[in-house]
Amino acid sequence: MNKMKTITAVVLPITLMNSACTVKNAPKEDKVKTPNIVYIMTDDHSYQTISAYGHPLSQLAPTPNIDRLANEGILFRQAFVENSLSTPSRACLMTGLYSHQNGQRQLGKGIDSTKTFFSELLQQAGYETAVVGKWHMQCEPKGFDYYNILWDQGEYYNPEFKSKETNGKYVKEEGYATTLITDHSIEFLEQRDKSKPFCLLVHHKAPHRNWMPEPQYLDLYEDIEFPKPETFRDDYATRCSPAHTQDMTIDKTMTLIYDLKVYELKDRPPYNKEWNVEGLEQSLDRMTPSQLKTWNNAYHTRNENFIGQNLTGDELLNWKYQRYIKDYLRCIKSIDDQVGRLIAYLEKEGLMDNTLIVYTSDQGFYMGEHGWFDKRFMYEESFRTPLIMHYPKAIKAGVKVDALVQNIDYAPTFLSLAGVDKPKEMSGVSLEPLFGGDKPTDWRTDLYYHYYDYPAIHSVRRHDGVRTDRYKLIHFYGEGKMANDKDIDCNELYDLQEDPHELNNLYGKGGYEKITAELQTALTNYRTKLAVDEY
């Protein structure tokens, strides 16, 4: 069956069509020169915790290996996702389509697997393709010669993987997820057909909730007091109801047992069953005796000290923030090490020059901004995602670009580099024109975002919106279906230049009529041209 025929045609906004002319014809004759692709995607890695992005947090916990890719390559300062959640982002990556086009609107609801995945097109063009780590979609990996994927979200310790060798069964392996995923990635590189170009997707589990560090880093950063973001105490004044009704605060949502690992509270007051004791118990039960011993050596005394202090109010909140940030950054340290290990392998094999290495995350994450963890909202910390590309043959070292890019652009970029025609239905555009560091005059001037996963964990309401270089319009909508949620139809407008933390909703304020009308037109145009059927 010709899968291309099953794709529904859409009319693209003019701003998205401009770069379509960069797509080349037919696979290149000379396969040797066709670039390899190593795409590294972590799960929930904030740009605030990559030192190349320069945020204060990351200066205390640097990421030298990821930074190296940025220093020798291109760093995208305005990279965004289309729908800030795992499976939707993965579907955007594989198809180059928006969520409503590829079917993966929500975390649990399925991808339309009749859509073409870029991996299939690369395979047809002679690439050897592989995916390792978190796959997380409800269809089997499609278009891959090699896969070694985690079950569902995957586990940090001794996770289950399935591959062709395990006959499709998930088999538990001893070790730490970040290391094992890198092991399997290198295994693929070792055993691949060296006459072919390759495309390897390395999808890490870390640093997803509940942020379990590897044994060697359980004590890392323990003596550091990390600064809190300026918006830690946001009271959401001026905002529509969703910022008030979400369930993702460090203060109230984050649990002392599951998230912050104070297992000792299990049988002691003030035990609260909502702290998800079972979640942590299951994670600890998976450990080998030696892993568990190392774990307890690190946490037990600290936890007893914490319980003994009986902290309340601001002191308790600060303790929670410090434990959260430290565990998260410890997971990042392992990621950075393993990125370094993969780079070292590529260097040893002489593959650095002819390989595009991408570092990104499936979305951004809140490191306490607005008092939150998790993602989902169209506010900057979760809408934005880190994006770094390294490809010495085509990318100038140390380039930083501010052009608006989105995760639907990755598939078109890979196809373009491989010399494969982009299916005209694909909504994203190749990022190749940005590789020199300049923004072409016809580059897109705005981006569309749409979040659908409500009712769901963390209670973030549905919304869509549009963002330009300077302004953002968000429309929250839909029936209230959880707790005391009301039906809503509410807008927010931000001037990101004057108010980068998005504290001052300007919608309906005098003096902003013109920009509001312009953004509203842009949003309406997206909905119409992309045939968005829900908002």
Residues contacting 266, CB < 8 A, separation 6+: 257, 277, 281
Binding flag, residue 369, ligand SGN (CB under 6 A): no
List of long-range contacts for 66-71, beta carbons under 8 Å, 24+ apart: 66/335, 66/336, 66/339, 66/359, 66/388, 68/340, 68/343, 69/339, 69/343, 69/357, 69/359, 69/388, 69/389, 69/390, 70/388, 70/390, 70/398, 71/397, 71/398
Select from 372, 109, 106 the least CA-distant residue to 236: 372
Q: Determine how many CB atoms are found less than 10 A away from the CB of residue 83.
A: 28
Q: What is d(CA 406, CA 402) in angstroms, rounded to the nearest whole number?
A: 12
311 interface partner picked from Ca ion, ligand SGN, none, CB below 5 to 8 A per type: none
Select from 108, 78, 76, 105 the least CA-distant residue to 91: 105
Binding flag, residue 82, Ca ion (CB under 5 A): no
Select from 259, 272, 144, 277 the least CA-distant residue to 208: 259
Residue with tokens 């990104």: 360
Select from 369, 373, 365, 380 the least CA-distant residue to 495: 380
Interface pick for Ca ion out of 51, 86, 249, 382 (rule CB under 5 A): 86
| Residues numbered 345-374 forming contacts with Ca ion, rule: CB under 5 A | 362
What string marks each residue from 397 to 436 as x (binds Ca ion by CB under 5 A) or -? ----------------------------------------
Residue closest to ligand SGN, measured at CB: 86
Please state the separation of Cα 15 from the chain's center in Å: 25
Q: End-to-end distance of the chain based on CA atoms, in angstroms?
A: 34
Q: Which two tokens stand for residue 469?
A: 């270089």
Rounded-to-10 torsion of CA 332, 336, 337, 343: 160
Binding flag, residue 461, ligand SGN (CB under 6 A): no
Size of the site for ligand SGN (CB under 6 A): 13
Number of Cα atoms under 13 Å in the Cβ half of residue 158: 13
Report the residue number, 183 or 247, with the smaller CB distance to ligand SGN. Answer: 247
Q: What is d(CA 184, CA 131) in angstroms, rounded to the nearest whole number?
A: 10
Question: Is residue 274 exposed (0-12), middle (13-18) or buried (19+ Cβ within 10 Å)?
Answer: exposed
| Residues numbered 371-400 forming contacts with ligand SGN, rule: CB under 6 A | 374
Interface pick for ligand SGN out of 31, 77, 209, 439 (rule CB under 6 A): 209
Interface pick for Ca ion out of 12, 35, 38, 43 (rule CB under 5 A): 43
Stretch that binds ligand SGN, among 124-132, 208-216, 431-439, 482-490 (CB under 6 A): 208-216
210 interface partner picked from Ca ion, ligand SGN, none, CB below 5 to 8 A per type: ligand SGN
| Residues numbered 134-163 forming contacts with ligand SGN, rule: CB under 6 A | 153
Report the residue number, 58 or 104, with the smaller CB distance to ligand SGN. Answer: 104
Minimum Å distance from CB 328 to ligand SGN?
13
Binding flag, residue 104, Ca ion (CB under 5 A): no
Report the residue number, 127 or 176, with the smaller CB distance to ligand SGN. Answer: 176
Rounded-to-10 torsion of CA 139, 143, 146, 147: -20
What string marks each residue from 83 to 112 as x (binds ligand SGN by CB under 6 A) or -? --xx--------------------x-----
Stretch that binds ligand SGN, among 203-211, 331-339, 421-429, 494-502 (CB under 6 A): 203-211
3-state secondary structure of 401: strand
Binding flag, residue 335, ligand SGN (CB under 6 A): no
Minimum Å distance from CB 361 to Ca ion?
7
Stretch that binds ligand SGN, among 54-62, 111-119, 182-190, 207-215 (CB under 6 A): 207-215
Residue closest to Ca ion, measured at CB: 86
Binding flag, residue 214, ligand SGN (CB under 6 A): no
Minimum Å distance from CB 353 to ligand SGN?
34
Contact residues for ligand SGN, defined by CB under 6 A: 43-44, 85-86, 107, 153, 208-210, 279, 374, 457-458
